Amino acid sequence: MTDASAPYVPTDQEVLDGRYKGDEIPSGTLPGAKKALGLAAVLFLLLMALAAFKNRDPERTTEDFFLRKLHQPAIYDAVLIGDSRVVQGIDPTAMGGKAFNFGFEGLGLTPDVIHAAAKLLRPDGPKILAVAFSAPALSQDSQASNGFTEVFHLNPVQQFNLKTFGPAERYLTSKRTAYAYRTRRNDLGFAGVETDRDLTGEREKAYDKPGYPMYDPKILQTTLGELEKLSKEGVQVVGFRVPTSQKMYFLERDLSKVPTDLPAQLAEIGGRWIPGPQRKFVSRDGSHLTYAEAQDYSRWLGEKLGL
């Protein structure tokens, strides 16, 4: 039989759920709750550590890979700027190791990225700044979610946190694929992808729907303005497009409205355009070259750049 005059003592769960509305939580009622919270915290940390371990990359993590691009010495004859097509499609080692891949996933062309890349050029070298133009890189979407900006403005503490906890967070939140997918990175900024599945048809169909990237003339004019300044300072400005499937090229031209007179516009500011290769290069999804094709294309592009 309970004593009606005894004060009510809420259960640990009632306290945690906020169901106890008393003015004061009686002493001695929280040990169980504290223990549960402590155990949950330990389990969370163990889970993060396990995720980081399972996601370990023998070459380096994705986060560290992109952060390292911001801390390169000024020793390169050429620096290549672009989005994921550059990241996965241009291997400087196939160019003789004199260039650096300054590509970022989801990169949008901005003055910041152009000048950050130019700082990596060797002062007494040919100083070649090669820009890969694409519909995504020239769209407002890439300005709002810019893979370069996301790491460029991080302070040292934020960079440490990204390298330390980023891999675990990415492992816990990323979607799993039903096909083999391997990334091979190197110290010159290239991250080629090997996969056993061709997603070209699927990605082309997905592009031809509302939500595709729309070319923004203001972004292009701002980009050309910054490149013109560098051209006047003695930098060789070069423009090109990483090979895509034929249909993807037409989708960007007809839907995203990427201008076909880019070569002429680049020439007006003192730059030059490298026309696409005559041979067809194979992509894994219509936009990104396969690892093997990236090697061949990089050798071809290196020759065109004079490396």
Nearest to 83 by CA among 58, 113, 59, 54: 113
Give me the mean pLDDT over the 274-296 stretch.
Answer: 92
Using the predicted structure, report yes or no on whether residue 84 has a pLDDT greater than 80. Answer: yes
Rounded CA gap, 53 and 163, in Å?
13
How much of the chain, in percent, has pLDDT values that exceed 90? 46
Give me the mean pLDDT over the 208-226 stretch.
Answer: 88
> Alpha-carbon Rg of the chain, whole angstroms?
26
Using the predicted structure, report yes or no on whether residue 165 has a pLDDT greater than 50. Answer: no
Rounded CA gap, 60 and 46, in Å?
21
Residue 226 has what pLDDT?
A: 97
2-57: pLDDT as tens digits: 555 555 555 555 545 555 445 444 555 555 656 666 676 666 655 555 544 444 44
Domain boundaries, the chain: 12-16+26-53, 62-305
Using the predicted structure, report yes or no on whether residue 300 has a pLDDT greater than 90. Answer: yes
Indicate the average pLDDT of the chain: 80
Options 3.30.9, 2.50.20, 3.30.40, 3.40.50; CATH for 62-305 is 3.40.50
Residue 114 has what pLDDT?
A: 96
Q: What is the pTM of this model?
A: 0.72
Using the predicted structure, report yes or no on whether residue 58 has a pLDDT greater than 70. Answer: no
220-240: pLDDT as tens digits: 999 999 999 999 999 999 999
Residue 166 has what pLDDT?
A: 43
